[in-house]
Amino acid sequence: MSRPYIKSLLISSIFTLLLINTNVSAQESSHENKWGFGLAANYSVPLQNLFDRYNGGPKIAFKWSYIKDDLIYEIEYFYSKFSSGKIEESKFQWNYDGNYYLSPDASSEMMFMGLIGNLKFPIKVNWSGISPFWGIGAGFTYYEQKIENLVFPGQSIPPLDVNFTYSPEKESNTALSANIGAGLQYFMTQQISFTLSFKYNILIANLRPMEAWYLEKVSPIQLLDVGFEFIYYFTQ
């Protein structure tokens, strides 16, 4: 499911760039001392051991942006959610008979939301008005994982009772997070910019192992975001 989503996201972003028909000379004027607000849409992909638990999901961010001294300062609030975790289709081995069983009513999901400060460094080249950049950021991210209806694998009396489940489990915390990334920015007009970007995120946090389902501990939590954003800058 994630690959078609990413493919359509990239195609729509490239198509938007190709449709832009503005005068390049207008883009060469200064964008200094501008501030604005915008919206970013991304697809967030779990990395390392977290990928064994989830496929990924959409991520939405609201941004405040300020351009000063050839730097771009940003503050963003974001929300992301992974649904239908892979544990729903994972089997555990019942020691009583050595066979593998599903938890038929299992469900899992993971949510992230946070406040991040970013600093972008434009690279001094200009490809027909398109400006590459790289950036770093840091802030705080709240995460929450919920798992319900996992069959208790320690049963010792046959037959296996699939209604004998663990109590709903929740792991949550607020973690220090950081990111590094790069992208391409294009000013469609003097007030509206369009950006394609990717960003690697790391949270100083962990998720406990689940040995019965062969899921290792997740530490740290790592994610890759791919997406686009629009920012509207106010004129002075």
Averaged pLDDT, groups of 10, the chain, 236 residues long: 52 49 43 90 97 96 94 97 94 94 96 98 86 97 98 95 96 98 94 97 97 96 98 86
Q: Which of 200, 228, 214, 212 is nearest to 47 (CA)?
A: 200
Give the per-residue pLDDT at 70.
Answer: 85
Q: What is the CA radius of gyration of the chain?
A: 22
Element (H, E) at 3: helix 2-19
Contact 175, 144 (CB under 8 A): no
Q: The domain at 2-17+35-115+132-234 falls in which architecture?
A: Beta Barrel (2.40)
Tell me the Ramachandran region of residue 70: left when phi exceeds 0, alpha when psi lies from -120 to 50, beta otherwise: left
Element (H, E) at 174: strand 169-187
Give the per-residue pLDDT at 132.
Answer: 96
**Phi and psi at residue 108, to the nearest 5°:** -150, 150
Give the per-residue pLDDT at 138.
Answer: 98
CB atoms within 10 A of CB 170: 10
Give the per-residue pLDDT at 4.
Answer: 54
